[in-house]
């Protein structure tokens, strides 16, 4: 299993919840959001000494959240985090490589992403 821990950015729910998309975020803001998350994820992968070696087998992603968002609201951030894993931990994020995504509530004030082999 690969485990990545990410700090919550300030104003997380307002910026990165699905409700922000429904409010009509401009495409340029969404692009900035994606660039932010890709940079954060890759910086943390390096800082946490997670090898840059895409896994050669299908995986499942488990996101552990601790904020006030409904779990369905986490989909926007999860997508950007998943994209940040491509080329480092994931070969790609298509269904050939990612077979399941789970969202779980936990009690630590961080985002935890676990990558496990799909059985």
pLDDT for 22: 66
Residue 2 has pLDDT above 90, yes or no: yes
pLDDT in tens, 23-36: 777 889 889 989 99
Write phi, then psi, for 23 (nearest 5 degrees): -75, -5
Q: Which residue has the higher pLDDT, 8 or 12?
A: 8
pTM: 0.90
The whole-angstrom separation of Cα 36 and Cα 13 is 15
| Mean pLDDT computed over every residue of the chain | 92
pLDDT in tens, 13-63: 777 877 777 677 788 988 998 999 999 999 999 999 999 999 999 999 999
For residues 34 and 83, the answer to whether their CB atoms sit within 8 Å is yes
* Helix axes of 75-85 and 27-47: crossing angle, nearest 10 degrees: 50
Q: Which domains does the chain have, with CATH numbers?
A: 2-117 (3.30.1330)
pLDDT for 3: 97
pLDDT for 15: 78
- Strand 59-65, strand 110-117: pairing: antiparallel
Closest of 97, 3, 89 to residue 52, by C-alpha: 89
How far are the Cα atoms of 8, 28, 80 from residue 112, in angstroms, in the given order? Answer: 10, 27, 14
């Amino acid at each position: 299993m690969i485990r990545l821990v990410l700090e919550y950015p300030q104003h997380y729910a307002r910026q990165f919840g699905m409700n922000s998309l429904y409010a009509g975020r401009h495409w340029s803001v969404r692009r900035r959001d994606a660039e932010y998350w890709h940079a954060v994820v890759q910086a943390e992968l390096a800082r946490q000494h997670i090898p840059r070696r895409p896994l050669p087998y299908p995986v499942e992603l488990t996101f552990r959240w601790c904020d006030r968002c409904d779990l369905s609201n986490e989909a926007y951030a999860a997508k950007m985090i998943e994209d940040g894993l491509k080329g480092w931990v994931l070969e790609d994020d298509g269904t050939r490589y990612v077979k399941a995504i789970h969202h779980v509530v936990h009690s630590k004030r961080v985002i935890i992403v676990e990558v496990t082999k799909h059985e």
